[in-house]
Amino acid sequence: MIVAEQKSLAEIRQMITPYQRVLILGCGTCMTVCNAGGEREVSFLHNALRLAESRSGNGIHTFSEYTVKRQCDYEFLDSLVDKIGDVDAILSLGCGIGVQAIAERLPDLPVLPGVNTSFMGMAEEWGVWDERCAACGDCILAETGGICPITRCTKGILNGPCAGTKNGKCEANKDMDCAWILIYKRLERLGQLDKMRRYYPLRNFRTIPRPRRVASKASIDVGEGNG
């Protein structure tokens, strides 16, 4: 799932400055799971903004809150219609996709990102998330024992560990496992160390040109009759 972090209150307040009536819009999927923009975070932020307003003494903003199941499809956003009549901007606690979906669906309404979309990953424990996939478009997990060196190695290198690894940890962060040590151990366990001995050529960054698109539907020429 997509992991994000809520922006600082200061940054959010800065962003909403020009807008008087702000709808705080949560997302019921990934943003709920990563504690960045579910219904609870929406109301927490709502409370925090109101507190900030009352503290500053000259608050002009009014807030409303709402959470949709998912911001990243137009159909979910259609339920916003009766919520935005008297709103000057939407503060989205959805990921970057959600924010853009809103921008596309509601062309006349400014939308502001309330979170920093960070990565795709999973929970390590309660309240801690780790990146797992870079969406590189050229998955090599079969070769690396199911451990992604592109996301989990700071340098994203493909031909084995750098010399910086110490105690199985990464040189960039002593709390982070060195991906290549993990890969080595796993491949050793699987009896597949030959995979690590193989040379991996330079990565192909052009697998899917940006902006990327994936289509699961076949392109069918309607005019063609029986296929």
Partner 1 sequence: MHSPVSDAHNYRANRTEKYLDHSLMPPCQAACPLHMDVRGYVDLVAQGKIMEALQSIRSGNPFPSICAYVCTHPCEDACRRCQVDKPVAIRALKRFAVEFGGDRMVQAEAETTQQEKVAIVGSGPAGMACAYYLRKLGYPATIFEAHSEMGGMLRVGIPQYRLPRQVLDTEVQRLTQMGVEIRLSTKVVSLDLLFDLGYKAIFITIGAHQSLRMGIEGEESPGVIDGATFLREVNLGLKPSLGERVAVVGGGNVAIDAARTAVRLGTKRVNILYRRGRAEMPADPEEVEQALGEGIEILFLVIPTRIKRGNGRLSVTCVRMELGAPDASSRRRPVPIKDSEFNEEFDTLITAIGQAPQTPGGFDVRMGKGSTIQVDPTTLTTNRVGVFAGGDAVTGPATVTEALAAGRLAASRIDDYLQHRYPVAGKAEREKLVGDLLPETIEMIRKISRLEPPILLPEARVKDFEPVELVYDWETATNEARRCLRCGMGAEILFQDKCATCLTCLKVCPYHVPCLDASGTIQIPAEQCQACGICVAECPAKVIVLRKPYDRRSINEELDHILKSAAESKSKPFIVGFCCQYGLFGIGTLANLWRGAKAGVWIVPVLCVAKVEAEQILRAFEMGAEGVFIAGCGEQCSREDTAFWVRQRVEKVRKVLAQVGFETERLQTFFPSTTNEDLAPELDKFAEQIGRLYLASAIMQEVKS
Partner 2 sequence: MANSLFEEKLYSGEFLVTTEVGPPKGADISEMVHHIDLLKDKVDAINITDHQSSVMRFPSLGGCLLVKERGGEPILQVTCRDRNRLALQADLLLAYSRGINNVLCLTGDSVDVGDHKEAKPVFDSDSVQLLKIIRTMESGTDIGGNELKGTPKFCIGASVHPEADFIEPQLIKFDKKVAAGAQFFQTQGIFDLRSLRRFMQYASQFDVKILAGIIVLASAGMARYMNNNVPGIIVPQATIDELASAEKDKRLQKGIEIAVGLIKTIKEENLCHGVHIMAVGNERIVPDILEAAQLAGVRH
Residues of the shown chain interacting with ligand SF4 in the complex, contacts defined by CB under 6 A: 153-155, 161-162, 164-165, 170-172, 178-180
Please identify, among the stretches 57-65, 109-117, 159-167, 209-217, the one whose residues bind partner 2 according to the rule CB under 8 A: 159-167
CA dist., res. 187 & res. 146, Å (int): 9
Token duo for residue 70: 């998912």
- Name the strand (E) or helix (H) holding 213: none
CA dist., res. 88 & res. 109, Å (int): 7
Q: How many residues bind partner 2, per CB under 8 A?
A: 32
Placement of tokens 């996301």 in the chain: 151
Please identify, among the stretches 26-34, 82-90, 139-147, 185-193, the one whose residues bind partner 1 according to the rule CB under 8 A: 26-34
23 in Cβ contact with 111 (< 8 Å) = no
Among partner 2, ligand SF4, partner 1, none, residue 10 binds (CB under 5-8 Å by kind): partner 1
Among partner 1, ligand SF4, partner 2, none, residue 71 binds (CB under 5-8 Å by kind): none
Among ligand SF4, partner 2, partner 1, none, residue 199 binds (CB under 5-8 Å by kind): partner 2
Among partner 2, partner 1, ligand SF4, none, residue 32 binds (CB under 5-8 Å by kind): partner 1
Please identify, among the stretches 112-120, 125-133, 141-149, 154-162, the one whose residues bind partner 1 according to the rule CB under 8 A: 125-133
- In sequence order, the 6+-apart residues with CB closer than 8 A to the CB of 186 are 145, 146, 147
Give the residue from 9, 4, 55 showing the smallest Cα distance to 29: 4
The yes or no reply on residue 66 touching partner 1 (CB under 8 A) is no
CA dist., res. 3 & res. 32, Å (int): 10
What CA–CA distances, in Å, run from 146 to 90, 142, 182, 193?
A: 40, 6, 10, 13
Give the residue from 115, 45, 105 showing the smallest Cα distance to 79: 105
For residue 3, the minimal CB distance to ligand SF4 (Å) is 19
The yes or no reply on residue 39 touching partner 1 (CB under 8 A) is yes
The yes or no reply on residue 56 touching partner 1 (CB under 8 A) is yes
Query: Which residues make beta-bridge pairs with 169?
Result: 166, 177
List residues binding partner 2 (CB under 8 A).
Answer: 154-168, 170-173, 180-181, 184, 188, 193, 196-197, 199-203, 205
List residues binding partner 1 (CB under 8 A).
Answer: 8-10, 28-29, 32-35, 38-41, 43-44, 47-48, 50-52, 54-56, 67, 69, 123, 125-127
